[in-house]
């Protein structure tokens, strides 16, 4: 699966972060492979490099058997009201891949979206709540195969939030500030250096699953060059040669949360799976007596790395020279790198980190810089998801902004009453902030708190003279 994972990764741009779960995609393709025939089956086998789908079923069972971490792989086949399925195929995929089947009337758009999203949300512990968009409607669809993968693991040695601090990440598109977690002289990890990269392998609590970072040598090759020469064989060999450093490793890695929706159909076609998506050549005769083909392939994935550990979810797929270890090794991941969640050298999730910025909005996630909006005066940047999909409210003219342009800003005059607790001394202060007119009150309060945060030990109240809609909560009821 390592070759397939890296092949997928190399189809994405080097300056984009597209988190994917090769395991989820392999599971879904293997379910289809069981009922495929002719060149359709052969193309899937060639790309997965597995002729026998039973091997995938055994791999999934083995990966899900670990103690100390949670890995959930759930697959459901939704059949249209009139769709037919071969009984023997249904029995085989239930036995091999634990696939459950359910009848669903695809003509009922809202029911379809709610049913599928509830399944994915439940299988991923609520990390992926909207697998299908609200406007998803495919009434002619005969069947829908959904696979969901959820992973949650605590670090064997946790990072301390008190040590986490801001520092500079040197990305392809320029420097930016990130939150970095650190551990000094960590001995419960593995390290190696070779094939143009330093490799750090951090174990989770079960010591079977690991978080691997492949950090290209600085100044030797560009990140694009490193990725283009990277492959599954190199990944496995580097992981195999990584070993504990007697002097420990000084670890500094960024804290991040990433989500993406890669174009899986386009990727699979590029890798050679073409018949599956062609209504004139697709052979899924082992699945159903009806002539079926795959109209689209969707995967949404999310990974969060914090001081506690890693939580991830997805729904859909060399000559080595050892060198003497120094007494103490530094590993500073402050530039683009490839990372993956692995077990026995098999990647469950894979991605490369660059071109990202921290969202100052409610999600606090890391989003590609092209999808961020920066506002004057406050200097904050938020992703369009926070701005439009979650928190956008109508402006004064009763119209909400479209996601294709930034919301207009209005000058917000906020008067602040500061009550010093010990001396009961009242200090009045006036701030002027230019903020988007559709920002929620809680976010505005957070911006204000940052502005007056240097007034340690003071309790702050707010009142406003602004005419912006839905700002009543800013008024504290105290006359200034």
The domain that contains 64 carries what CATH number? 3.30.497.10
Average pLDDT score over residue span 390-414: 44
Looking at the domain assignment, is residue 160 inside a domain?
Answer: no
> If we measure between CA atoms, which residue out of 88, 89, 57 comes closest to residue 73?
57
CA dihedral of 357, 362, 364, 367, whole degrees rounded to 10:
-40
Quick one: 334 and 402 in the same domain? Answer: no
Quick one: 79 and 99 in the same domain? Answer: yes
**To which H or E segment does residue 471 belong?**
none
pLDDT of residue 405: 45
Quick one: 284 and 318 in the same domain? Answer: no
Are 309 and 203 within 8 A, CB to CB? no
Cα distance between residue 296 and residue 310, in whole Å: 30
Residue 357 bridge partners (DSSP): 367
Q: Which of 62-66, 205-209, 348-352, 363-367 has the lowest mean pLDDT?
A: 363-367
In this model, does residue 385 exceed pLDDT 70?
no
In this model, does residue 396 exceed pLDDT 80?
no
Question: pLDDT class for 272, splitting at 50, 70, 90?
Answer: very high
Question: pLDDT class for 430, splitting at 50, 70, 90?
Answer: low
State how far the alpha carbon of 406 is from the alpha carbons of 176, 316, 322, 436, in Å.
Answer: 22, 31, 52, 8
Quick one: 379 and 466 in the same domain? Answer: yes
**To which H or E segment does residue 302 belong?**
strand 300-305
Looking at the domain assignment, is residue 102 inside a domain?
Answer: yes
Quick one: 462 and 378 in the same domain? Answer: yes
Cα distance between residue 366 and residue 377, in whole Å: 22
Looking at the domain assignment, is residue 155 inside a domain?
Answer: no
Q: Higher-confidence residue: 366 or 402?
A: 366
In this model, does residue 166 exceed pLDDT 60?
yes
For 31, counting Cβ atoms within 10 Å of its Cβ (0-12 exposed, 13-18 middle, 19+ buried), the class is: buried
Question: pLDDT class for 454, splitting at 50, 70, 90?
Answer: very low
Looking at the domain assignment, is residue 391 inside a domain?
Answer: yes
Cα distance between residue 480 and residue 471, in whole Å: 17
Quick one: 252 and 313 in the same domain? Answer: yes
Looking at the domain assignment, is residue 246 inside a domain?
Answer: yes
> If we measure between CA atoms, which residue out of 467, 59, 2, 72 comes closest to residue 233?
2
CA atoms within 13 A on the CB side of 465: 9
Which runs of consecutive H residues, i.e. helices, occur in 72-200?
87-97, 109-123
User: What range does the domain containing 342 cover?
Assistant: 165-257+306-357
Matching residue, tokens 């998803």: 136
**In 3-state terms, the chain is what percent helix, strand and coil (to 5)?**
25, 35, 40
Average pLDDT score over residue span 444-451: 58
State how far the alpha carbon of 310 is from the alpha carbons of 274, 348, 440, in Å.
Answer: 35, 12, 29
CA–chain centroid gap for 220, Å, is 29
Cα distance between residue 166 and residue 177, in whole Å: 6
DSSP state of 109: H
Quick one: 329 and 248 in the same domain? Answer: yes
Matching residue, tokens 């890995």: 71
DSSP state of 103: E
CA atoms within 13 A on the CB side of 222: 7
Q: What is the mean pLDDT of the chain?
A: 72
At residue 264, the 3 state secondary structure works out as helix
CA dihedral of 268, 199, 196, 343, whole degrees rounded to 10:
-30
Looking at the domain assignment, is residue 94 inside a domain?
Answer: yes
Cα distance between residue 55 and residue 59, in whole Å: 6
CATH assignment at residue 182: 2.30.39.10
Share of the chain above pLDDT 90, in %: 3
Question: pLDDT class for 472, splitting at 50, 70, 90?
Answer: very low
Which distant-in-sequence residues (6+ apart) come within 8 Å of 471 by Cβ? 441, 444, 464
Quick one: 18 and 142 in the same domain? Answer: yes
Question: pLDDT class for 14, splitting at 50, 70, 90?
Answer: low
Residue 302 bridge partners (DSSP): 259, 313
User: For the chain, how many structural domains are there in total?
Assistant: 3
In this model, does residue 429 exceed pLDDT 70?
no
pLDDT of residue 278: 84
């Amino acid at each position: 699966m390592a070759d397939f994972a890296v092949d997928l990764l190399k189809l994405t741009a080097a300056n984009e972060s597209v988190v994917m779960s090769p395991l989820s995609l392999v599971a879904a393709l293997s379910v289809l492979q069981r009922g495929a025939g002719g060149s359709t089956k052969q193309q899937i086998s060639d790309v997965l490099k597995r002729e026998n789908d039973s091997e995938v079923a055994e791999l999934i069972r083995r990966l899900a058997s670990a103690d100390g971490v949670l890995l959930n792989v759930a697959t459901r086949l939704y059949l249209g009201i009139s769709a037919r399925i071969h009984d023997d195929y249904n029995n085989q995929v239930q036995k091999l891949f634990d696939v459950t089947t359910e009848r669903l009337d695809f003509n009922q758009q809202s029911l379809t979206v709610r049913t599928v999203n509830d399944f994915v949300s439940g299988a991923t512990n609520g990390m992926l709540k909207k697998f299908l968009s609200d406007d998803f409607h495919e009434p002619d669809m005969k069947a829908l195969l959904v696979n969901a993968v959820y992973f949650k693991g605590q670090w064997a040695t946790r990072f301390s939030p008190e040590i986490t601090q801001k520092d500079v990440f040197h990305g392809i598109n320029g420097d930016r500030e990130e939150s970095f977690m650190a551990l000094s002289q960590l001995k419960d990890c593995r390290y190696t250096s070779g094939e143009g990269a330093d490799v750090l392998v951090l174990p989770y609590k079960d010591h079977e699953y690991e978080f691997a970072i492949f950090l290209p040598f600085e100044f030797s090759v560009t990140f694009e060059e490193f990725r283009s020469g990277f492959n599954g064989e190199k990944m496995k060999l580097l992981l195999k040669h990584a070993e504990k450093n007697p002097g420990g490793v000084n670890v500094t890695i960024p804290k991040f949360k990433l989500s993406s929706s890669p174009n899986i159909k386009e990727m699979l076609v590029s890798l050679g799976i073409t018949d599956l998506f062609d209504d004139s050549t697709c052979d899924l005769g082992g699945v159903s007596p009806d002539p079926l083909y795959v109209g689209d392939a969707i995967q949404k994935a999310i990974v969060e790395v914090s001081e506690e550990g890693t939580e991830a979810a997805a729904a859909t797929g060399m000559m080595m020279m050892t060198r003497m270890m120094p007494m103490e090794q530094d590993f500073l991941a402050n530039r683009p790198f490839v990372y993956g969640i692995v077990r026995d050298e098999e990647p469950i999730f894979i991605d490369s980190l660059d071109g990202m910025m921290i969202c100052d909005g409610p999600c606090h996630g890391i989003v590609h810089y092209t999808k961020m909006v920066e506002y004057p005066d406050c200097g904050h940047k938020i992703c369009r998801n926070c701005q439009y999909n979650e928190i956008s409210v109508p402006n004064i003219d009763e119209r909400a902004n479209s996601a294709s342009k930034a919301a207009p800003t209005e000058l917000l005059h906020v008067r602040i009453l500061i009550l010093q607790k010990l001396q009961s001394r009242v200090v009045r202060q006036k701030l002027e902030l230019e903020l988007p007119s559709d920002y929620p009150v809680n976010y505005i309060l957070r911006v204000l708190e940052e502005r007056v945060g240097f007034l340690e030990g003071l309790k702050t109240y707010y009142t406003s003279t602004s005419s912006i809609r839905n700002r009543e909560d800013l008024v504290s009821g105290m006359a200034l």
